[in-house]
Amino acid sequence: MRILLSLVAAVLVGLALFEVTMQPSSVDRAELAGIFIVMAAVSGLAAALLPTLARRSSRLVITLFALSLVSLFVVALGITIAANRMFFSNHDLTLVLVVLGFGLLAAVAFALSASRSLTSDLERMANTARDVAGGDLTVRTGVDRSDEIGVLAMELDDMTAELQVMRETRDTEDRRRREFFAAVSHDLRTPLASMQVAVEALLDGVVEDPDRYLASVQADVEILGSLVDDLFLLSRIQAGDVSLPVARTDLTEVVDETLEVLRPAADSRQVELSLVASDRVVLNTSAEAVGRALRNIVDNAILHAPQDSTVTVDVSAESEARIVVRDMGEGFDESFIPTAFESFSRFDGARSRNTGGAGLGLAIAKGLIESLGGSIWAEPGPGGCVGFSLPSSDLGET
Amino acid sequence: MRDGTGRTILVVDDEPMVREVVRTYLAREGFTTCDASDGESALRQAEAHSPDLIVLDVMLPKLDGYAVLEQLREHTDVPVILLTARVSEEDRLRGLELGADDYVVKPFSPREVAARVHAVLRRTAGPTVESLPPIETEGLVIDRQAREVIVDGTAVSMPPLEFDLLVCLASSPREVFSRADLLERVWGSSAEWQDPSTVTVHIRRLRQKIEIDPDEPERITTVWGRGYRFEA
């Protein structure tokens, strides 16, 4: 339909041009209209056939050649008829036809050279697509053109880049999962190993003070119990399956209470706990979740604090409620900060009773604080520093 | 009871209970023991006491067991038994590649560790020259004195455990050894404590080193349902 309309338009424009430039007689006008209609009909026929030819053709060069051939043929047809009517001598007509014959050869050359750049770009895209299908996501087409083919190449490259990002994310997740299970398995085996040797020694009757061995087994059972609890809590936080009842909470009170719970543990390591707060800070939040997060952070600080030092907890409220825990230990290494809040990450890479539990404490704290809409951070040493803030919109006065 | 009198064993583990119990069992068998709780002090203790064998945990603070083993191997051949909580085969074999003589997977039995200590000491005791001539078959020379294996003219390096496994099989050509036999003879262990698949894994690694085509073994063959044998 569109072809038909454009052909009619071409005929009309041609006639109008003829009218304006030559002021023809009515006979000439009718004759020219005839010529135009014949040319338009041939073009229309070619346009109708070309898509089928193009789709069947195995090589792009054939299509391009056919395209230039059609335009040339239409022009040749028009000129031949017109020349005939203009009473050209036979000699002149032959000359025109020879020139047109040359044009035909030029058209072949044009089709070949035009198709080369096109086909090489298309080949590159095909190769890229094949490599991508084969799993190599680093390949790009390298096609630089702004036409439809260029757009297609760009889309292909964008898609590959997108796939690459997705695969990298998946690989990272897989690696994390493997590391997580290796860490869980290690942390379960270590107390089990300790229990196994103690129990076997008890059974073999080779120990002089069985009570001490039993106490050690009991401590291992407690470690295993709290590890299982922590894992369960962490998996619930990560699944978003933890309900945190929100109520008006005096944050300073929560900190005070947490420090009181932890004081015996701090005393046994000769570490002082101190609360620094200028005012009461009251906001709508979950006292239980904040308390648990804070307990894990302070616990960690106590474990890393040197003897006879102080762990301070700073509570403040300006644009947001902020709690910062500082110890006088070595603090976080700059390189460790990005992974400090991941499960089972420990800076020395080894589990030991001296430097703490399972390595889930900060991961749980982060999970809880973030589900309350807050954020948590660590600052590089010297001196351990972990802080968190809670959303300001809930801030209120007593 | 076997006698460890006059020999010193260094026990390295960050768990005090593990150190204590392993030391107790070794002391009962006459060994002198010392211990260390992290990698750095393990190296210091090894320097100070020149132990006859080291029982070394892999996951240690400061310097892990693999790193300790690597540093030890730079200047000493002291036998090392690794204690590992790691589960993957890859992790376990890494220790052997680094030159450990054996490994025990946590949680373990302290009796088992004591038995392994004896087995490793026996294996590494150093045989006398005249009693052990090299074993030679077509294209394969096992020099028991120098602990060297030459396959088709090329020396092949292998961890002590694999070497001992090869020697055990090659010393009695055509005799079939079950996995339990091999656990007892080579590891000084038993199927009660050690998974027989350990043997399968080491046979596979051995074949990769001495067979022309490890998938079609000709030197160490499997006798289905019975075990392995060395073809003369």
List of residues 6+ apart from A341 with CB closer than 8 A: A362, A363, A365, A366, A376, A378
In this predicted structure, what is the pLDDT of residue B87? 61
**A211 touching B (Cβ < 8 Å):** no
CB–CB contact A185 B24 (8 Å): no
**B185 touching A (Cβ < 8 Å):** no
| CA distance linking residue A117 with residue A166, whole number of Å | 33
Contact residues, chain A, for B33 at CB < 8 Å: none
In this predicted structure, what is the pLDDT of residue A349? 46
| CA distance linking residue A337 with residue A366, whole number of Å | 13
| CA distance linking residue A135 with residue A160, whole number of Å | 10
- For A193, which of B18, B86, B87 is closest by C-beta distance? B18
In this predicted structure, what is the pLDDT of residue B12? 95
Interface residue of B1, B12, B13, B15 to substitute, partner A, most A CBs within 10 Å: B15
Q: What is the Cβ-side half-sphere exposure of residue B222, based on CA atoms within 13 angstroms?
A: 12
Residues 296..355 of A with a Cβ closer than 8 Å to B: which? 348-355
The dihedrals phi and psi of B178, each to the nearest 5 degrees, come to -75, 165
Per-residue pLDDT of chain B (232 residues; tens, 9 = 90+): 457 778 999 999 988 999 999 999 999 999 999 999 999 999 999 999 999 999 999 888 888 899 999 999 888 889 999 988 666 677 777 888 888 888 888 888 999 899 889 988 887 776 544 567 788 888 888 888 778 888 888 888 888 888 889 988 988 888 999 988 888 888 877 666 677 778 888 898 889 888 888 888 888 999 888 889 998 7
Interface residue of A197, A214, A221, A348 to substitute, partner B, most B CBs within 10 Å: A197
**Nearest chain A CA: its distance from B97 CA (Å):** 21
Which own/partner contact pairs does A86-94 have at CB distance under 8 Å and 24+ positions apart? Answer: none
**Residue whose C-alpha is closest to residue A393's, from A285, A311, A240, A277:** A285
| CA distance linking residue A282 with residue B27, whole number of Å | 62
**Residue whose C-alpha is closest to residue B199's, from B156, B161, B151:** B161
A390 three-class SS: strand
CB–CB contact B85 A200 (8 Å): no
Pairing verdict, β B227-230 and B220-223 = antiparallel
- For B107, which of A196, A204, A351 is closest by C-beta distance? A196
DSSP codes joined into one string, A166-185: HHHHHHHHHHHHHHHHHHHH
**Element (H or E) spanning B148, and its range?**
strand B148-151
Residues of chain A with pLDDT under 50: 349-356, 397-398
